């Protein structure tokens, strides 16, 4: 694939379940994790989906003035970080925020010592990390499927130089 190409399973033009506000969600094709109970098992095969370009995706994003942001889902976004960095930067220049889901923990991503992965992490505003675990499934959680997953406010974490969660368990329990 060329540098500006990305293999995707598909997109959703106006999602309200993949982060706060109306979102354009990109389902990246390919994931090595194979979590039992995966919400998107059709995205696991690295040869599936279709190849598109960063420019085509950005044109679709630009067609919806109601978007609050863009979400990278999958598959596993951090298996194709370079084109997603370009998309994230363009989205930020348009005033959109960027969320990403990953089956890896933030610590696992940093341990890869991959410059493209680090570049994508530096562009992500909110990271939902951790593999999906069926035994920890909880449909009451905000923007995640199992209790082990975290919704990390990456902007605040970078600013405060510590991990800052956007949604915490005790907030959910108090509001229940």
Query: Which CATH number do you get for residue 105?
Result: 3.20.20.70
Nearest Cα residue to 22 out of 68, 54, 62, 61: 68
pLDDT value at residue 172: 43
Number of domains in the chain: 1
Task: Tell me the three state secondary structure of residue 144.
Answer: coil
Domain range for 56 is: 5-175
Give pLDDT tens digits along the chain (176 positions): 677 899 999 999 999 999 999 999 999 999 999 888 888 888 899 999 999 999 999 999 999 999 999 999 999 999 999 999 999 999 999 999 999 999 999 999 999 999 999 999 999 999 999 999 999 999 899 999 999 999 999 999 999 999 999 987 544 443 43
C-alpha–C-alpha distance, residues 62 and 59, integer Å: 5
pLDDT at 174: 38
pTM of the model: 0.92
| DSSP 8-state symbol, 77 | G
Residues 6+ apart with CB under 8 A from 89: 123
- Go through the chain and tell me how many residues it has: 176
User: CA end-to-end span of the chain, whole Å?
Assistant: 48
Cα–Cα distance, 33 to 36 (Å, whole number): 9
For residues 18 and 10, what is the distance between their CA atoms, to the nearest angstrom?
A: 14
């Amino acid at each position: 694939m060329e540098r500006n190409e990305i293999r995707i399973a598909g997109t959703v033009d106006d999602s309200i379940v993949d982060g706060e506000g109306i979102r354009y969600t990109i389902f990246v094709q390919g994931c090595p994790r194979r979590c039992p109970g995966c919400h998107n098992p059709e995205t696991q095969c690295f040869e599936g989906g279709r190849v598109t370009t960063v420019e085509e995706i950005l044109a679709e994003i630009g067609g919806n003035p109601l978007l609050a942001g863009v979400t990278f889902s999958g598959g596993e976004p951090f298996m194709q970080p370079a084109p997603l960095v370009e998309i994230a930067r363009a989205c930020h220049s348009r005033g959109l925020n960027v969320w990403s889901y990953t089956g890896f923990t933030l610590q696992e991503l940093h341990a890869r010592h991959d410059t493209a992965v680090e570049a994508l992490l530096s562009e992500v505003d909110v990271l939902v990390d951790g593999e999906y675990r069926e035994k920890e499934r909880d449909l009451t959680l905000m923007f995640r499927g199992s209790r082990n997953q975290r919704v990390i406010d990456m902007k605040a974490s970078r600013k405060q130089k510590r991990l800052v969660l956007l949604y915490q368990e005790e907030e959910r329990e108090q509001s229940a």
